[in-house]
């Protein structure tokens, strides 16, 4: 049975919780008004009037006892007048919820903006795969809802359904969804509507490990020579730079003259334009510098590798891939296979693994520490590795 007394602010602050049960302290002045204390220490004012209902009037931190008592007394007056204040409160809350829902941004609206600001900066294949998968599967189901309206149970059900039907695609979709939510959580327009980053659990699907690469020196040299006869010339130059540098295709395509220190022979890749999320200073060999100079010509700005005088970055797609493979008469490879070819080839030449990782832009904790302690030595090590590789390629 609840205790009855004249409730005060001091008493509410001193009231100790019972770890095994909820406590209620009834007010002696207004019948039905009281103090609620949870086992975890949450304290709130309440008003109960049977058989009409029960409601909390606010925590003791946000509302004083005098104001809460007046609200309880007003509700008693409404009951005497034949009204049900509990139902009226429920209706008001429903109206507020509906109004808030109507102003919440939908996932589809947020994704449209995310595509423009983030997805558009990725590679052609990433843009195609991310937009296709998300619009076809995720947004078709949840697109009209606000980001924080999807429950964890719904996320798990979505993952389970798609990992059965399309396991490989679901693995990518999990990454797309998490990245999308992280972006919303950091955006001023959406952070209030996210709640938490969704947890989709582990995708139970076999992962295809890609191992395709060129292993014969004759094939690698044939590819290098074949690029001399391919058009557009600037596309062939971009591929040549890829073969020598071991960098990602999108990083090479985004290169501008402003990123090149021609005197020190350095390529400075901004943190927001590479996967590592850190600014990278890439040493350039004389051969790499010659390729850059030929691609730029006399242009002071724009993209280095461009068929439109720097206005747009060069396109490197399946057309170029098929042409270079046919011209070199080698097994089919993709541009990502070229990176695997370079890393494997450097390893065969005896280049240390951490140096190969630096050329590829892969940063583990150990490599980060090595790079943090010194900058000149890692760059010299990379430069030596590039010169070894160029000799092997026949550049």
Burial 304-322 (b: 16+ CB within 10 A, else e): bbbbeebeebbebeeebbe
Looking at residue 102, its pLDDT comes to 57
Looking at residue 99, its pLDDT comes to 55
284-305: pLDDT as tens digits: 999 999 999 999 998 989 999 9
Supply angle C-alpha 191, 196, 201, rounded to 5: 140
Inform me whether the pLDDT recorded for 373 exceeds 50. no
**What's the mean pLDDT in 66-87?**
90
Inform me whether the pLDDT recorded for 74 exceeds 70. yes
Report the C-alpha gap between 120 and 114 in whole angstroms.
9
**What's the mean pLDDT in 364-380?**
60
Looking at residue 278, its pLDDT comes to 76
Q: For residue 315, what is the DSSP state? A: P
Q: What is the distance of C-alpha 199 from the center of its chain? A: 13
Looking at residue 334, its pLDDT comes to 87
- Is the bond preceding 51 in cis, omega lying within 30 degrees of 0? yes
Q: Dump the DSSP string for 60-90.
A: TTTS-HHHHHHHHHHHHHHHHTT--HHHHHH
190-233: pLDDT as tens digits: 888 888 888 888 887 665 556 789 989 999 999 999 999 999 99
Q: For residue 305, what is the DSSP state? A: S
Average pLDDT value over all residues in the chain:
88
Inform me whether the pLDDT recorded for 1 exceeds 50. no
Q: For residue 38, what is the DSSP state? A: -
Inform me whether the pLDDT recorded for 163 exceeds 90. no
User: What's the pLDDT band for 362 if we cut at 50, 70, 90?
Assistant: confident
**Residue among 287, 308, 289 nearest 299 (CA):** 308
Burial class (CB in 10 A: 0-12, 13-18, 19+), 386: buried
**What's the mean pLDDT in 155-178?**
90
29-64: pLDDT as tens digits: 999 999 999 998 999 999 999 888 888 988 898 889
């Amino acid at each position: 049975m609840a205790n009855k007394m004249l409730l005060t602010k001091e008493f509410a602050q001193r009231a100790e919780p019972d770890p095994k049960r909820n406590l209620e302290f009834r007010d002696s002045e207004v019948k039905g008004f009281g103090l609620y204390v949870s086992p975890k220490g949450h304290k709130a004012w309440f008003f109960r009037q049977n058989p009409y209902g029960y409601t909390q009037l606010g925590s003791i931190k946000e509302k004083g006892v005098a104001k809460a008592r007046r609200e309880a007394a007003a509700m008693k007056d409404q009951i005497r007048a034949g009204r049900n204040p509990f139902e009226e409160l429920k209706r008001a809350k429903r109206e507020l919820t509906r109004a808030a829902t109507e102003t919440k941004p939908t996932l589809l609206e947020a994704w449209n903006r995310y595509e423009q600001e983030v997805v558009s900066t990725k590679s052609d294949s990433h843009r195609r795969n991310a937009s296709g998968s998300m619009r076809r599967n995720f947004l078709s189901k949840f697109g009209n809802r606000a980001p924080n309206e999807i429950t964890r149970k719904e996320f798990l059900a979505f993952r389970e359904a798609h990992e059965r039907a399309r396991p490989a695609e679901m693995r990518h979709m999990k990454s797309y969804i998490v990245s999308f939510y992280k972006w919303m959580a950091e955006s001023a327009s959406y952070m209030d509507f996210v709640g938490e980053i969704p947890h989709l659990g582990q995708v139970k699907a076999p992962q295809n490990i890609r191992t395709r690469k060129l292993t014969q020196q004759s094939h690698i040299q044939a590819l290098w020579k074949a690029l001399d006869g391919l058009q557009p010339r600037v596309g062939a130059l971009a591929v040549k730079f890829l073969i020598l540098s071991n960098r990602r295709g999108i990083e090479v395509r985004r290169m501008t003259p402003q990123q090149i220190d021609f005197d020190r022979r350095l390529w400075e890749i901004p943190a927001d334009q590479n996967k590592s999320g850190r600014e990278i200073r890439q040493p350039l060999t004389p051969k790499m510098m010659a390729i850059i100079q030929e691609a730029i010509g006399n242009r002071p700005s724009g993209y280095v590798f461009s068929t439109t005088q720097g206005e747009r970055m060069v396109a490197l797609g399946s057309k170029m891939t098929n042409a270079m493979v046919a011209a070199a008469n080698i097994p089919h490879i993709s541009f990502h296979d070229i990176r695997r070819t370079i890393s494997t080839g450097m390893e065969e030449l005896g280049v240390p693994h951490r140096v190969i990782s630096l050329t590829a832009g892969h940063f583990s904790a150990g490599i980060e520490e090595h790079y943090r302690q010194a900058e000149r030595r890692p760059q010299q090590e990379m430069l030596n590795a590039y010169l070894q590789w160029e000799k092997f390629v026949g550049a």
